[in-house]
A and B are shown apart, each in its own frame.
Chain A
Amino acid sequence: MATLSQGFGAALSSTCLDSKRFEVSSLKSSLPIQPGRKGGRVFAIRSDSRDNSLGSSNSKPRSSPKLVTNAVATKNEAASSKPGHELLLFEALREGLEEEMDRDATVCVVGEDVGHYGGSYKVTKGLATKFGDLRVLDTPIAENSFTGMAIGAAMTGLRPIIEGMNMGFLLLAFNQISNNCGMLHYTSGGQFKIPVVIRGPGGVGRQLGAEHSQRLESYFQSIPGIQMVACSTPYNAKGLMKAAIRSENPVILFEHVLLYNLKETIPDEEYICSLEEAEMVRPGEHITILTYSRMRYHVMQAAKTLVNKGYDPEVIDIRSLKPFDLYTIGNSIKKTHRVLIVEECMRTGGIGASLTAAINENFHDYLDAPVICLSSQDVPTPYAGTLEEFTIVQPAQIVAAVEKLCQ
C-alpha cells in the first residue's frame, strides 16, 4: 500500500453522477416492495423500502427539468410531515457510525488514517476528536495484522469496524478475513463470535489504475460465514452501516469511490436496513434488471432511454451480495420472465456469475429467455479514460441487452 489512494480528491471533487438524477432514484427507493412479507421478521427494524418518508421533501427535484419523470413508474407517496435532512453518502456513513458508537461503547474503528486524518474519504472525520484515539485507532500500514487484531478484539468483546483505506488493500488481509473472520466461529464450535464490519471504498473510480479499481466481492464471496452488502444511496449506506455493526456476523460493507458525494434527504429519526434484503428501485413489467452499487445509476440512465422506447423495466438493487435475496429476485422474475444482470464485478467468478447460477437453479421454469449478465471485462482496469470506459458496462450496452432480451 505504498500508494495512498488519490481517491480522496476524486471523491470530494467529482461525482460522475448528476445528483438530481440521483435523487429521483432515491425517491423510488421509498416505494414499498412486497408489503407484508417482513411482518414477522426478526429485525425489529423497519426496512427502508417501506414506511418511509424518504421522499418527504416535496421541495425537491420533482420540478427539476432534468428529472425524467417517465422513469418513475409510480407516483411518489404522499410526503410525510417529517422533514429529514440532506447529506452526502459519506456523511450518511459517518452518521450511522457515530450513532452506533454513541449507542454502544464497544464499537470502535481501526484502520489507516481513520483517526486524526478522518479517513481518506472522510467517513470517520471528527470521530477521533469525539471518541478518542483508542476508539478510532490509527493503525500502522499493516493490513493483515490490524485486521487480525480487530478479529482478536471482536473475539474478546469489542465490535470493531475495519476500514480498508482502499478495498484493494484488504487483499493483504485476505488470510485473516477468510480463515479467521469467516471460519473461526465455526471451528471454535460456535464459542467465539466475530462481530466485525469490514468496509471501504472499492470499484472502478476515475482513472485510479488497476490496483485501486478492484471489485473484491468476487474474491470474498466464497468465504463461508461472511455476509456482504453493497450500499448505493445515502439512505441505504446509513441503514446498512448500522445493521452491519449490530450484526453478530462478520459483514463486509462495500462502498464505491464514485458514490461518496451523492446527495439525498434521509429521515431524521433512527432507521436501519436489513442486511439480507434487496431494494426495489423501479417496479416494472417487462424485464428484471438486477444491479448493485454504482451500476445502479448506469441502469437508471439506461432505464430512462428504455422507457422512452416503450419498455417498462423493473430495476432491483440486490444490495445483499451474499446471501442473495432470492425472494425479491424470484418474485420479480415470476412477473417479468426475463433477467438482465448489470454489475461492475469481473465476468469470471463474479457476483453476476453466482447470481446467474442461483437464478437458473431456482427460477429456471419462469424464464422466457436465458439470463444475460453484463459484467466488466476480464482485464486489469486500464488507466486511460477511454479504455477504462470500455472495461465497465455502459448504459448503451444495457439498452441493447434489454432490447435483445425483450425481442
Chain B
Amino acid sequence: MSLSTLFKIVQPVSVTSTRSQEKSFLDPLKSNSNSFLGSTSKIRSISSKSTFPSLVRRSSSISAVSDVVKEKKLKSNSAISNLLITKEEGLVLYEDMVLGRAFEDMCAQMYYRGKMFGFVHLYNGQEAVSTGFIKLLKKEDSVCSTYRDHVHALSKGVPAREVMSELFGKATGCCRGQGGSMHMFSKEHNLLGGFAFIGEGIPVATGAAFTSRYKREVLKQADCDYVTCAFFGDGTCNNGQFFECLNMAALWKLPIIFIVENNLWAIGMSHLRSTSDPGIWKKGPAFGMPGIHVDGMDVLKVREVAKEAIDRARRGEGPTLIECETYRLRGHSLADPDELRDPEEKAKYGARDPIKALKKYMFENNLVTEVELKAVEKKIDELIEDAVEFAEASPHPERSQLLENVFADPKGFGIGPDGRYRCEDPKFTQGTAHV
C-alpha cells in the first residue's frame, strides 16, 4: 500500500468538515467550534437552569428526532405513501419485538421455577431499541451488548432455542452452556457478546469497527462496509471507557454506532443523581461526532435515526452517538425487588409500551389486521414453547467439556512431567486431567 495514502487516511476528521456532512442531524455546536479554549474571549458559563437537575428531569426534548421524522415525511411526499414502514417491514418489527418480550417473560417464569440461575436481566420495555437498530443490519455487521443481552441476540438472529438452552446451562446453548445469561455470543451471527461488566464491551465493539476499516484499507477488501452497533446503558456513560472509545472512534472515523439505552436507572442509581449533564447525546459533538436523542419507546423513530447512522458509518463517515430514552418495565435483574422506582414513573412508561405503540401505528394506517398480528403472536408463542422444550430436553454438558475452550490451542496447558503436552493425556479429553 502506499504510505502516503495511509497517512492521509489516519488524519483526524476536522470538526467543520464533519459537520457539513450531517445537516440532518441535530448539531448543538452552534459557534466557536474551531476556537481553542485559549482563544475564546469569555469563559462559557455553566447552565444556570437549575442546581438540581433531578427536578427538571430530562432537560432536552426529543424534538430532534421528530424533526428527522418530519423531514423524512416531507421528502417522501412524492411517493405514494407517507408511511415510515411497509407492511412487511412492520410485521418484521412487530414479530421481533413480540419475540423479545415473550422470550423475556418466559425467562422470568423459568427463573422462578428454578430452571435457570445466576443473574438474569430482562429487556422488557426496551424492545424498540434492539429491534429498531438490529433489524436494519446485515448478517456481517456486528453487535456488541451488555449483561442485558438476550434480546439483542434474538434480534440478531440467534435462534431462541439456543439462547434458552444457554440460559438453562445446557450443552446445546449458543455458548455450550459456558457463557450464561450475561455472556451470549454467536460468531455465525456476529454477536460479539454479552459483556457483564460495565463499559468493557465498548472497546471490543470499537475493535470490530477497526477491523472493518482495516479490512477495507489494508487487506483491500473493497466491499467491506460492515458496521458495528455497541449497546450500553446510561450508567456506562459515566465510565471512562465510554469517553475513551468515543474519542478513538471519532479520531479514526470508525464505522460504529454507540447506542445508549437510557432507561434512567443504573440498578438503584438514578441517571439524574449520577450524571452532571443528563443529556448523554450532547457528548457526541464534543468528540466530533453527531449526537442524537431519540424516543426509545418508539421503534419507528429509533429506526429512522438508526438508518441514517448506519448509512453514515457504511459510507465511511464515522461514528454516531445515539441516546435512546427508554425504560425497563421490570427490575434491574430478577433478583432486584425494584422497590426504589416511583410507581408513577413506572406507570407512565408502562403506558408507552413500544409494542402497543407500533400496533397502534399499524392499525391507524391500515397496514395490518388484528388477525395478522394474532398470527404473529401465535407463531412466537409456539417458538418460545419450542425453545423451552428444546432446552429442557437438551443434555447437560459432559465433564469432557470442562477443559475444552480454555485455550484455542490446547498446547497452552503446557508440558507435563512426562514430557508430553497435557492435552495429549487421554484424561484431558475426559475432562478429568489435572491441569
Contact = CB atoms under 8 A, between A and B. Distances in A.
Contact of A145 (B3, B194, B206, B214): B206
Interface in B1-36: 1, 3, 5-7, 9-10
Given A134-B214, A190-B408, A326 B245 contact: no
A188 B218 contact: no
Contacts of A144: 203, 240-241, 244
A186 B405 contact: yes
Interface string A305-327: 00000000000000010111111
Contacts of B175: 187-189, 191
Given A105-B218, A148-B207, 18 more contacts: A132-B218, A133-B10, A134-B213, A135-B218, A144-B244, A149-B206, A149-B245, A153-B207, A155-B208, A158-B210, A158-B214, A184-B185, A186-B178, A187-B180, A190-B408, A277-B415, A323-B422, A326-B414
Contacts of B87: none
A225 B245 CA distance: 26
Interface stretch (A53-61, A80-88, A173-181): A173-181
B219 A105 contact: yes
Given A152-B211, A153-B211, A189 B219 contact: no
A344 to B, nearest CB: 22
Contacts of A175: 197, 200
B208 A327 contact: no
B308 interface: no
A42 interface: yes
Which of A148, A224, A225 has the most chain B CB within a 10 Å cutoff?
A148
B428 to A, nearest CB: 13
Interface string B303-319: 00000000000000000
B405 to A, nearest CB: 4
B377 interface: no
Contacts of A194: 408
Given A144-B203, A145-B206, A148-B206, A191 B187 contact: yes
A148 B6 contact: no
9 tightest Cβ-Cβ pairs between the two chains A and B: A152-B207, A323-B414, A148-B203, A132-B6, A189-B175, A189-B176, A152-B204, A188-B185, A145-B244
A68 B10 CA distance: 53
A325 B414 CA distance: 7
A135 B144 CA distance: 24
6 contacts: A151-B204, A152-B209, A155-B207, A188-B175, A191-B185, A323-B414
Given A142-B244, A158-B214, A185-B405, A180 B204 contact: yes
A109 to B, nearest CB: 12
A218 B185 CA distance: 30
Interface string B206-233: 1111111111011100000000000000
B358 interface: no
A227 interface: yes
B197 A249 contact: no
B173 interface: yes
Given A135-B218, A187-B185, A188-B193, A156 B211 contact: yes
Given A187-B178, A327-B417, A153 B208 contact: yes
Interface string A330-360: 1000000000000000000000000000000
A164 to B, nearest CB: 15
Given A105-B218, A108-B214, A249 B202 contact: no
A363 interface: yes
Interface residues of B, number: 69
Contacts of A37: 419
A148 B215 CA distance: 19
A114 interface: no
Interface in B156-194: 173-180, 183, 185-187, 192-194
Given A134-B217, A158-B214, A185-B408, A149 B207 contact: yes
A276 interface: yes
Given A148-B204, A155-B204, A132 B1 contact: yes
A8 to B, nearest CB: 24
B183 A187 contact: yes
B251 interface: yes
Contacts of A195: 408
Contact of B192 (A155, A324, A330): A155
Contacts of B174: 189
Contacts of B245: 145, 149
B142 interface: yes
B404 interface: yes
B218 A152 contact: no
A368 interface: no
Given A145-B244, A156-B208, A189-B176, A323 B185 contact: no
B333 interface: no
Contact of B417 (A158, A275, A326): A326
B16 to A, nearest CB: 22
A148 B205 CA distance: 9
Interface string A12-40: 00000000000000000000001001000
B342 interface: no
A179 B200 contact: yes
Nearest to A247: B409
A370 interface: no
Contacts of B244: 140, 142, 144-145
Interface in A119-165: 129, 132-135, 139-140, 142, 144-158
Contacts of B66: none
Contacts of B408: 185, 190, 193-195, 248-249
Which has the most chain A C-beta neighbours within 10 Å: B1, B179, B192, B211? B211
A362 interface: yes
B205 A249 contact: no
Nearest to A149: B207
A175 B1 CA distance: 35
B426 to A, nearest CB: 16
A324 to B, nearest CB: 7
**A150, A190, A195 — which one has the most chain B CB atoms within 10 A of its CB?**
A190
A106 interface: yes
A189 B171 CA distance: 9
A188 B406 CA distance: 10
Contacts of A157: 211, 215
A106 to B, nearest CB: 7
A330 B194 CA distance: 42
Interface in B380-427: 404-409, 411-419, 421-422
Contact of A327 (B177, B195, B415): B415
B204 to A, nearest CB: 4
Contacts of A325: 414-415
B247 interface: yes
B417 A153 contact: no
Contact of A180 (B200, B206, B211, B404): B200
Contacts of A150: 207
Contact of A185 (B196, B251, B407, B415): B407
